[in-house]
Structure 1
Amino acid sequence: MKKELINNHIQLDDSGRLVHLLGLENLPKSHLLDILEKADGLIDANGHLKKSKALDDMSVANLFFEPSTRTRNTFEIAAMRSSANVINVDLANSALKKNEALMDTMQSLKAMQIDMFVIRHKQSGLPHHVAQHLKGVSILNAGDGTNAHPTQALLDMLSIRQHKPNFEALSVAIVGDIIHSRVAHSDIQALKTLGTTDIRLIAPDGLQYGAKNESTIKRFSDIDAGLKDCDVIIVLRLQKERMIEADIPNEQDYFDNYGLTKERLALAKPDAIVMHPGPINRGVEIDSAVADCKQSIILQQVTNGIAIRMAVMQILAQNS
């Protein structure tokens, strides 16, 4: 997919309203904060999610061309808690398997009175392509290739804000496969928009961030140096195929050099929080003692994922 299409600012209409959520690059700070505020209002004082009638009589279709558990389920729950009709499209037995073009399938689904499409695809820019050519519906990017995962980054920002409200004063460390991670790419964009000026990217050379030098971003190959006195640690899942590309011999070698242990967590500030997008590879990128410790907010992230996805869908419904 052409880079200019991925970066094309097609998620806002001529009035500046959010009509798709495709990525966080160039998304105005006001929109990002509106989503966080909306999501925060959907969680009661006891941490329970509220129900809403905001999507009553609307239909949301989930199209996951890649396997997913957390993201797909939380999108489905979010739509149902907002009173939408939810359709999980059976892609394994769809017309696409009969060589129908993707846009023909999308047009057919639209003709079935679908209002929103949630799309995950291995091709970077695919949701942007659909949004550009399919009019009258809202497109939500649930992860495209190595490009972006906007709702994951938004739920990460909501989770951070619940513990560390002043983003400008934060030191945030992201550990793991930075270069291939759509989560990392969207987190970096969100943190920059919110004013964070100390973003630390910790990875082996073969998995490090490949963008141009920026004053807000520091790169570390030494995890101990990168974690020192940080406020937030976001640990990324390591995929085995990426280990081969980065010339990492085995999982134990990666854990020895980049796994988050209790000893390494102690290098951060005493009140630092630990995050992970899931699913967790215990003993590969994070030790069980850390994943389950009091500083870990990993399960809180899961709940916040539902709130963020509810908020995004409700805002898009309001603007449709």
Structure 2
Amino acid sequence: MLNKVVIPVAGLGTRVLPASKSIPKEMLTVVDKPVIQHVVEEAIAAGMTQIILVTRSGKSALEDHFDRNAELEQVLEAKGKDKLLASIKDMLPRGVQLISVRQDEARGLGHAVLCAAELTGADDFAVMLPDMLIDNSDDTRDFAAMVDAYRQHGRGQVMVEQVPADQVERYGIVDCGGQTPAVREHAPMQDVVEKPPLAEAPSNLAIVGRYILPGKIMQLLQSTPPGAGNEIQLTDAIKTLLDEGGALDAFTMGGDLYDCGNKAGLLKANVAFGLKHPETSEELSAFLQGLSVK
């Protein structure tokens, strides 16, 4: 049963310095929640019950955030602030476990995922990148829909979206043999290339930080040599899996993607989520309209 998700959170956050100098980048907020909480809630909504954080020294705030704070809860309860109390109490529902493992050195996404091998064992598992937030305008969450596709068809899934030609070289790009699956549909992957030049890209379908992978990928990562950036790349292990006849599908997302690992993406996410939040939407909307007429 698919219930484990690996979330690599050991990065230094250089793209959001100086904010990340003393605060983990995953603790930067989108409206009133740290980015990591948005991602963990997305995982739980999709049925994940083992949340595995791959972390490093200086990131204890991530684990602390999901712990109970009895003193704060008592203060809020005594003051009758029930809504605020509900927002911090039981962030992890009963039956959901948060576990952390250490990545001793930054050696790439593939190495970070491999650090969780003892916890995932031979099981299939999910990977979610905490920088990437997905804003779904309807009631269907893309990651939950991708999990449903995995459970229905028994094939690993890699979430993708079409990107403009000038952005292709920023991403891992998948080859579906010329197919482009419709929104929340999937198609068999034939190949994957990490950050290819546009002239060598097999498509414009970019991987967007959500994966459901077979347990075998851990075995492949153990023998994957350093690739782009002299780091162990997850896409290289995925390519080996495909070359050996493994089955993976590309699953097209339907929501809006925000890369909160950079300043502009974080600001955009705050605007998008802020316009939906009941406590901020009206005032923020009026503020933005005021800016537009100046």
The answer, yes or no, to whether TM exceeds 0.5 is: no
**Aligning the two structures, in what range does the TM-score lie when normalised by the shorter sequence?**
under 0.3
Higher relative contact order (CA 8 A, sep 6+): 2
Structure with the larger strand share: 2
TM-score, normalised via structure 2 length: 0.28
TM-score, normalised via structure 1 length: 0.26
